[in-house]
Chains A and B, each alone.
Chain A
Amino acid sequence: MASVTLEHIYKRFGDLVAVKDQSLEIKDKEFIVLVGPSGCGKSTTLRMIAGLEEISEGTLKIGDQVVNDVAPKDRDIAMVFQNYALYPHMNVYDNMAFGLKLRKFPKDEIERRVQEAADILGIEQLLERKPKQLSGGQRQRVALGRAIVREPQVFLMDEPLSNLDAKLRVQMRTELSKLHDELQTTMIYVTHDQTEAMTMGDRIVVLKDGVIQQVDDPLSLYNKPNNMFVAGFIGSPAMNFMDAKIEKEGDTYYIDGDGTFRIRVPEDKEDHIKDYVGKNVVFGVRPEDIVDTNINHDFEVKEDNSFEADVDVVEPMGSEIYLYLAEEAHSLIARVEAESTAKTGDTISLGVDLRKIHIFDAETEECVF
């Protein structure tokens, strides 16, 4: 088991800088998820840790050892990719054991490791079966088993669940988290799926264009995004963004959407906003922080935290309803309680939970609060 430390890591492919100045400390036994859209450098980062890509600049440590020039096989890591092969003519046991056999491990040691891995993965009864007699999830477990038997210091996983159907993916997510609890080994997991990241990671690293945007635990990432990218990337449906200006009337500050909406800045946030009076900002609010005022809600709705909008589309999800709204020039989504009776074409009154709103600098896109 070991920590993994990235110090000012760069990866250049010719003129293209795929990874820029990444510094990150992954703690021993931590489950860390690298997440971002395609091309954000998450897989490149993982491959540099694996030793499959050279590091252009910076230092990489596993434990206390600098491993920049250490060959992949000597890094004591095991990888699981989306695209793995189970050999059809080998049974489950051999599909897990062949790597150890080829590395010339003693027989009893191989036996112990495979049995232990099978036990952890709940596939002890499948060891004699051939891959074609297994379900998709069982095959995935065997692929994991192949990594587990290597007893590595660090597991690297690159979208290992992407090939599974939606239902199985959800199930395997939980299993992987449990597996991490049991193995107590550092895991670095790459995904483009923010839900996967949120549900699995102790901490999440959000990447964009090769640059780390934020490293945080799932809730902090959700509630306190550093910038508009993180705010928009984490959460589904995504946060609503609306251009606005900060205005001051008497002692009160307002977020003004060019006359179309006017929302009061909560008093405890006024300090953050003082320098922004008269300036352009972006107002952000998550769909669940907008309520249908006809339904019960746990905050007071007044004129300065509500607005009217036309309902464009109603999407009932069962436990809740997504309302696609048009408010003058803006379109936004509200995630309201299932009791809402709003119908397409209605004009309804909506309230904004002021405790949950966000303001971003329109120029830098950094979070103001």
Chain B
Amino acid sequence: MQITLKDIARMADVAESTVSRALNNKPGVGEDTKLKIIKIAKKHNYRPNQLARGLAANKTNMIAVILSEMDSPGNIEIVKSLEKAAEKNGYQIILCNTNNQTEKEKSYLTLLESNQVDGAIFIGGKLVEGHLLRASFSPDNNIVLVNRLAEENFFTSVLTDYSQGVYKAVGHLLDQGFENIALVGGEDYNLIEEEKSAGYKAALIDHGYQINEDLIFSIKADRKSGYNVFLEIIEGDIIPDAFISTSELTTIGLVEAIKMGGYFIPDDFAVVGYGDNILTSVIDPPLTVLSEPVDALADYSFDFLLKLINKKMKDQQIKVLTPELIIRESSISKYN
């Protein structure tokens, strides 16, 4: 059975309040007594009951992490990182997946509204709708949005500047001497993909190049489309010398097709992929990628939420983070 505060008090022959003060590192306990109490607690593997703690402080020490899509690799990385940050601060997370469904989101929101959690972090998803807007009016509802936009009210948010990421990638490729850079992006009508494309165009213009619409490709974000687009490109009039691919799966297909065609990376085509994972560094050659700033997204969003919970957030905030460009062999020119 789990040892309680009361048991420790009995064993140390002190009052329960003394044990509590000692374990919470509060003043009013002699050093010897404190050491004795900590020793007993360690020996019996004492862990405070978070629920009881929560009841006393009117807190649950739980936060809801509400994902719009479970199968997006970036989102999972953010969750992992969030969990670490939460644990460090004595919080546990409840993971919810809405599959981009409004009704599911509404039902998870009740966790927050009925005080079953101290706050909620929403990751990704559609434009903020009425139910979330309404929840935001109550100062007791601590909400942080990650990579999600709202038209009306001000939500404390942490966002990725996708356009800046691609901007950096273009700059890097130009520095390496590649001048015909193709953008293999997602389908039209996707704001994030549009931002990436805007970053691509802005970088070319800022570096004094013209935009060639024939080098911009909008395809489905899967491996097969990545493969096929390369076959299409090498049949075209303008053959690029570098690719920026904006999704993980497309990058895999693209690299596959380049290799199958007997071409070399980066000798024939430089490649900058999207999303950093185990494979990107061991693939031959190791891939240069734009990596979502997952740790920073998690750290900032958790930090903001904690401040909101503890009423220490003076003004609501928006933090914009830029994807990191991790440079490996696939984009380093050997000849230019």
Q: A residues bordering B, Cβ < 8 Å?
A: 47, 50-53, 71-73, 79-81, 83-85, 87-89, 94, 98-99, 101-104, 146-147
Interface: B137 (CB within 8 A): yes
- A81-B152, A99-B151, A101-B191 known; A88+B130 contact, CB < 8 A: no
Interface: B318 (CB within 8 A): yes
A147 to B153, CA, bound (A): 12
Evaluate contact between A71 and B130: CB separation under 8 angstroms: yes
Chain B residues contacting A102 (CB-CB under 8 Å) are 126-127, 149, 191
- A81-B152, A89-B159, A89-B164 known; A51+B191 contact, CB < 8 A: no
Nearest CB of chain B from residue A352's CB, rounded to whole Å? 46
Shortest Cβ distance from B198 into A: residue: A94
Evaluate contact between B153 and A84: CB separation under 8 angstroms: yes
Evaluate contact between A99 and B159: CB separation under 8 angstroms: no
Chain B residues contacting A146 (CB-CB under 8 Å) are 151
Q: Mark B143-182, 1 if CB is under 8 A from A, else 0.
A: 0000001111111010101011000000000000000000
- Known pairs A81-B153, A88-B320 / 5 extra A-B pairs, C-beta < 8 Å: A52-B134, A79-B152, A85-B157, A102-B149, A103-B127
A83 to B152, CA, bound (A): 8
Chain A residues contacting B69 (CB-CB under 8 Å) are none
Cβ-defined partner of B133 (8 Å) among A72, A94, A98? A72
A-B contact list, 25 entries, CB within 8 Å:
A47-B134, A47-B137, A50-B130, A52-B133, A52-B134, A72-B129, A72-B133, A73-B130, A81-B152, A83-B153, A83-B154, A83-B316, A85-B154, A85-B155, A85-B318, A88-B320, A89-B163, A89-B164, A89-B320, A98-B149, A98-B151, A101-B194, A102-B127, A102-B149, A104-B189
Q: Mark B107-131, 1 if CB is under 8 A from A, else 0.
A: 0000000000000000000110110
Chain A residues contacting B153 (CB-CB under 8 Å) are 81, 83-85
For the A-B complex, the count of residue pairs with Cβ-Cβ distances under 8 Å equals 63
Cβ-defined partner of B127 (8 Å) among A53, A84, A99? A99
A72 to B163, CA, bound (A): 31
Instruction: Give the 5 A-B residue pairs with the shortest CB-CB distance, closest first.
Output: A72-B130, A89-B161, A83-B154, A52-B134, A85-B154
Nearest CB of chain B from residue A143's CB, rounded to whole Å? 9
Evaluate contact between A98 and B191: CB separation under 8 angstroms: yes
Shortest Cβ distance from B134 into A: residue: A52
A352 to B191, CA, bound (A): 66
Evaluate contact between A87 and B151: CB separation under 8 angstroms: no
A102 to B127, CA, bound (A): 7
Shortest Cβ distance from A51 into B: residue: B130
Shortest Cβ distance from B102 into A: residue: A71
Chain A residues contacting B155 (CB-CB under 8 Å) are 85
Chain B residues contacting A87 (CB-CB under 8 Å) are 149, 159, 318, 320
Interface residues in B187-227 by Cβ distance below 8 A to A read 189, 191, 194, 198
